[in-house]
Chain A
Amino acid sequence: MTAHAHAAHLETSTGLDNRKLAIWTFIGSECMFFATLISNYLVNKGKSLVGPFPHESWTSPSGQHFEPIFEIPLVTLGTALLLFSSLFVVLALSGAQRGNRKALLGWLAATLACGIFFVGMQVYEFTHFVHRGLGFTTNLFGSSFFTLTGFHGTHVTLGVLWLATVWVDALRGKLPPSKSLNLEMAALYWHFVDVVWIIIFPVVYLIK
């Protein structure tokens, strides 16, 4: 029996690793958190009195014209990369569990690249929206949109930072198979951020 298997036998009341149970409990609480933000977006959907609007053009009383604000192709690219990053992080975890350092470092670097692109995409999108006249207090759509996607973007940023620390550990040789749970916890959080976006993408961007 390997050191990994020995490390696996823990004296806990559930027989499960408390850290893994803790991350799942945290993820469960995060479901509730995002449910409130998604609810907030949905109940305020279509109730803005002034533009700019997500899917329709609008002309203000002063005659200023605003085009629909969403850019679906860019967000679709970000969505695809976030989905791919979930694939990459499970491949990195598989590498960590098999003691394949090269696979671990490579796939984790790919995950980080996708995450950084996604955050960059959101920063560009937010900046672009502000330049086109949609601020946090412009209308109900702006407030609920920036709150929901902003909190999600913050979660992605924290996930990138967490995965980056695991990558540095792996680079220093401090992530042997017996410690692969360190990556598994970060990966579970990362997948959760991905599944939240799986809901946000159609609800916010595609449903009119």
Chain B
Amino acid sequence: MDAHVTGTAHTEHTHPTAGLYFKVGLVLFVLTALEVGLYEITYGERAGSFAPTIKPLFVPLLLLLSAAKFALVAMFYMHLKQDHKLFSGVFVFPLIIAAFVIVALIVLQAYHFAFARAG
């Protein structure tokens, strides 16, 4: 049997090769550079005349880039793409609740401040 296994009975899938790990690492590096570049051209010293145009898209783009990085690390480096689906479930279910908690608290605070200001 190939020694390149995960070490669990039902998850004896081969992990990605070193080449794929390097490719994912390169993509992560590029995405991080894009994040910082986006910040620089929107708010940094290199912010140009088109900065006001980018500003409404700044937060959604940053969140999209960080979500892509998150997914790449989870799928390839944490091996969720190859491993047993139960591991994905154990990770993703609390992640959904965590995201819900963050959104709920932000909405609650926003409502509270809007209500306090109105009344």
Contact = CB atoms under 8 A, between A and B. Distances in A.
Interface of A: 1-2, 4-5, 7-10, 12, 14-17, 20-21, 24-25, 27-29, 31-32, 34-36, 38-39, 42-43, 55, 72, 76, 79-80, 83-84, 86-87, 89-91, 93-94, 97-99, 177, 180-181, 184, 188, 191-192, 194-195, 198-199, 201-203, 206-208
Majority secondary structure, B binding face? helix
Contact of A94 (B21, B32, B39, B106): B21
Contacts, number: 169
* Of B7, B22, B63, B102, most A-chain CB atoms within 10 Å: B7
Contacts of A29: 94
Of the four ranges (under 10, 10 to 19, 20 to 34, 35 or more), the interface on chain B belongs to 35 or more
A31 B10 contact: no
A4 B4 CA distance: 10
* Of A17, A28, A98, most B-chain CB atoms within 10 Å: A28
A87 B72 CA distance: 11
Contact of B39 (A14, A34, A72, A83): A72
Given A20-B8, A55-B43, A86 B77 contact: yes
A180 B7 contact: yes
18 contacts: A8-B9, A20-B8, A20-B87, A21-B86, A24-B91, A27-B90, A31-B94, A43-B106, A83-B69, A87-B21, A90-B76, A94-B15, A94-B18, A97-B5, A177-B3, A192-B78, A194-B73, A199-B66
